[in-house]
Amino acid sequence: MAKTDVLKQIVAKKKERILAAKQQISQEELVVRIADLSAPRPFKEAISKPKQISLIAEIKQASPSSGLIRQDFNPEGIARIYQEVGVQAISVLTEEDFFNGSPSYLEVVKNVTTVPVLRKDFILESYQVYESRYLGADAVLFIADLLTKDKLVECMQVAEHLGMDYLVEVHDEKELKKVLSLKTVQVVGINNRSLRTLEVDFKTTEKLFTLIPKDKTIVVESGIKNAQDVLFLKILGASAVLVGTVFMASHDIKNKVEEVMGW
């Protein structure tokens, strides 16, 4: 399978999943069910701590670049470890076909933690934002490359209406320009992994970081493996790191979190 086809395949599958989800529960029904939920936990606030770098710790079983990462995968158990070790937020990968995720994990994680929960998936339309809120997400990830400017604005407005924070992810200068033209974006994610080739390049962060206004909350994603990486990003001025693979591949998650974050 050519690596460049991965994103296309993920999006095609995701469109099928969205259609199936809508047949199970309509957007109108989601809106009704959301009305009774308690307010979302504040994600941006949790990861914007002055003079320190926050951790958004990820729960995922597999990825197209790494294959199966964790054999004994127990989202509830992992969430409890993250909660105990003191992470600032938890990212839950819910994409089913390429990451072995499930939207149901959001509720599982939410029930055993007190920190904000980010839904990490391939959000293509506002239906999924309502769905995310219904399933327990406090914040959602939007990938700039997957959404036209109009579609991104629409999804952001739905999130704001529902009281949810959102992280908008970019991979290059063109995407960053598009995102920064939308003044309401407060949390920008720089992903060092190309969605098209799956290669990781830390220079992506070095290139894009200086172009982002200081009043934005900047999250760095992908390729963060050790305490040196985190220290480098802290000195650079990043607000938070999103780390998954290195924790998921570890026999002792708690120990690995402490080691990587220097806690």
Active site residues: 58, 60, 120, 169, 191, 221-222
CA separation, residue 79 to residues 73, 74, 242 (Å): 11, 9, 15
Within 8 A by CB and 6+ apart from 150, the residues are none
Give which of 185, 188, 191 is closest to 153, Cα–Cα. Answer: 185
Segment holding 243, helix H or strand E = strand 240-243
Euclidean distance between CA atoms 221 and 170, whole angstroms: 10
Q: Would you give the end-to-end CA distance of the chain in angstroms?
A: 40
Phi and psi angles of residue 64, each rounded to the nearest 5 degrees, phi first: -60, -30
Distance CA 35, CA 242 (A): 30
C-alpha span between 153 and 149 (Å, rounded):
6
- Residue closest to 242 by CA, chosen among 166, 191, 181: 191
